[in-house]
Structure 1
Amino acid sequence: MNEIPIIDLAGLRSNDLSERQAVAGRLGAACRHVGFFYVKNHGIPEMVAKGIFTAAHRLFAQPAAEKEKLSIKRSPHNRGYVGVAGERLDTKASPDQKEAFNIGFDLPADDPEVLAAKPFRGVNLWPDLPGWRDQVLAYYDACMTLQLTIHRGFALDLGIAEDFFADKMDRPIATLRLLHYPAGEPTEGAEIGAGEHTDYGNVTILATDGVAGLQVRRRDGVWLDAPHVDGAFVCNIGDCLMRWTNDVYVSTPHRVARPKAERYSVAFFADANPDAVVETLPTCLAPGERPRYAPISCADYLRERLTATYDHLKPGS
């Protein structure tokens, strides 16, 4: 039995406040307990959702030399290609057996924030594949709309203004990450597809191809499989939203087992705007309770987390 709830988001688009609050309550219950939930009636067209997997297959089928031309090492803004074993999400485990490609909030080279070299404000690295950029950005834009809808639900549940997150998520450090897990049995030094970790930002929207792999750690330490659900995305909250809510919402550890069959997935990490200050919401403090976390900008927090992910792979680490 699947212990991760499936939540119908249609009510969040209703003009009836009580319908929106009902869906928000279901989102809040999931965020307080398992930290994961599926969403259906999410608003992303089927053609767009299928198109992003077509794009992922085209990209990862490129020769290694072509993919390395777009290496994430070329970008100080967390964009580009990461090869197999190029990350270690669990710093105490073996490197992840996956390859990935990151696309960030798309800005032109002459954007003032790009010219000022602000953190996470760079240009994307694009492969030389006809139509690829447009196909990927169509999905990115659809996820942007979806994450704002979900955030309205969070706000309603948390007792703050329904549009509280809108101006904090309108030019976000949102990263679209295409992922490919080659098939293989666990071997020494290559035991895991993606190591145990929590996500860094506010909410993650994950599309899967039906091949098993994602596992979620329950509060009692038991690992649950998160099966593919047709027509739905699996979502989880991240550490920044947990900080905002003073641990009212919980960011849940998860991992990807090494798949026996080739596996593709697509994650949209909805982090806030770089200069958005992540600080405890007043409605998440009991009388006399103090915040558990100091205020921090989203850019500073994300930089700390990404540094830990990649520095453990340097020689001698």
Structure 2
Amino acid sequence: MIPHVQLPGPAGEWTSKDRQSVAERIGGICRKEGYFFVHNHGVPAELLKEVYAEMQRFYRLPPEEKSKYDATEKSQFLGYRGLGREKSRTHAGTEACEQYRIGNTTPDLALPESVDFYHEHFPKSLELFGHLTRLGDGLLAACALDLGLEEDFFSAHLGAPLHRLGLNYYGASHLSRVGSKVDYAMSPHVDLSLLTILDQDEPGLDVRDTDGTWLEVPSVDSALFVFLADYVQRWSNGRHRAAPHRVSAVRRDRMSVQYKHRPDYGVVIAPLEALTGPDEPAKYAPLDTGSDYVAVLRSILGR
């Protein structure tokens, strides 16, 4: 059973009392399941429709046109990941989807000549990006409160955050086209982010519960799906659970919008001293959101 949370409206308008109310509602969910639907989130339904229309237009472009926006280290991995471009982290093959990334960049790495170049097909997606950033900030503040921290605790690590919006296309023929020998289109994994917010036009996402059972995430009108990711689990020393997830083999074309809320480049994330002690030692090694994260992207996208 996937929990549902009724929010007090658009997160950018929440008061401290609102954030405390959300923390009380999601606290137990974050500690157990780590995933939930949110309602009354303030993202216009019409905007989501326009984002899917942008995605359709882009993915219908000829391959040579899409390849102009190839995601590489030089673009800070913004742009297009063609079918079979991303290597699986769990099997010898590749992921059976096409992907596109828009979002923030960091001056700590070489910048592409024009970030706007990678965003030019997606003005409505950039508008959605702003809505989801505010929602992510609100949910993260609620997580902090549930952990007994100040509501703005995580804000110190969000001065120049590397939030990203993934625009993903899973074609019904993609599994056969990449010669996949598994029965899922995206391998099981936990996101390298703080939390992830997702919408899908067709079911396909599965999450794994605490018993190890895979649950299909339905498409719910007017609701967004949220799941916690590695960085919150690591900072909280496992008090908040990151949700393993995958995309099953799709029977018809499917698109998803996947927003990842991330901290600044180069933040070292390790279990907080306030949440560890002699009876609760650190369960996770430190992870650098700069060099360690880039190393992962190199391993799955390197050429």
TM-score (norm 1): 0.85
Q: 2:258 aligned with 1:267, yes or no?
A: yes
**Pair 1:208 & 2:200 matched:** yes
Q: Is residue 213–residue 256 contact of structure 1 (8 Å, CA) maintained in 2?
A: yes
Matched-pair contact (CA < 8 Å) for 1:119–1:299:
no
How many Å separate the matches in 2 of 1:185 and 1:291?
41
Query: Identity, % of aligned pairs?
Result: 29
* Structure 2 counterpart of 1:182, from 144, 168, 171: 171
**Cα distance change on mapping 1:74 and 1:295 into 2, 3 Å:** closer
Q: Whole-Å Cα distance in 2 between the matches of residues 244 and 67 of structure 1?
A: 38
Q: Counterpart of 2:237 in structure 1: which amino acid? A: N
Q: CA deviation at 1:202?
A: 0.4
In 2: Cα distance, 1:292 partner to 1:276 partner: 18
Per-residue CA deviations over 1:184-214 (Å, capped at 9, x if unaligned) read 38555254311111111100011111x1211
Offset from partner CA, 1:142-190 (integer Å, 9 cap, x none): 1111111111111111111111122322421111110001113855525
Work out the CA distance in 2 between the residues paired with 1:34 and 1:196: 16
The answer to whether residue 7 in structure 2 is matched with residue 9 in structure 1 is yes
Does the CA-based 8 Å contact 1:182-1:263 persist in structure 2?
Answer: yes
Q: What CA RMSD, in Å, does the superposition of the two structures yield over aligned residues?
A: 2.5
Contact 1:184 1:258 in 2 (8 A): no
Residue 234 (structure 1) aligned with residue 225 (structure 2)? yes
Tell me, what secondary structure is at the counterpart of 2:2?
coil
1:122-154 Cα deviation digits (max 9, x unpaired): 55363696xx34322111111111111111111
Which whole-Å CA distance do the structure 1 matches of 2:111 and 2:24 have between them?
Answer: 35
On the 8 A contact 1:70/1:125 being kept in 2, the answer is no
Deviation digits for residues 10-31 of structure 1 (CA, Å, limit 9, x no counterpart): 17755473x5333213322222
Deviations 1:263-313 (A, max 9, x none): 0101111111113332322342255433233444321332233233335xx
Q: Give yes or no for the alignment of 1:169 onto 2:168.
A: no
Contact 1:205 1:236 (C-alpha < 8 Å) held by counterparts: yes
Which piece of structure 1 moves more, 85-94 or 270-279?
A: 85-94
2:24 match: 25
- Distance, in Å, in 2 between the alignment partners of 1:185 and 1:136 is 24
Residue 158 of structure 1 is aligned with which of 147, 150, 157?
A: 147
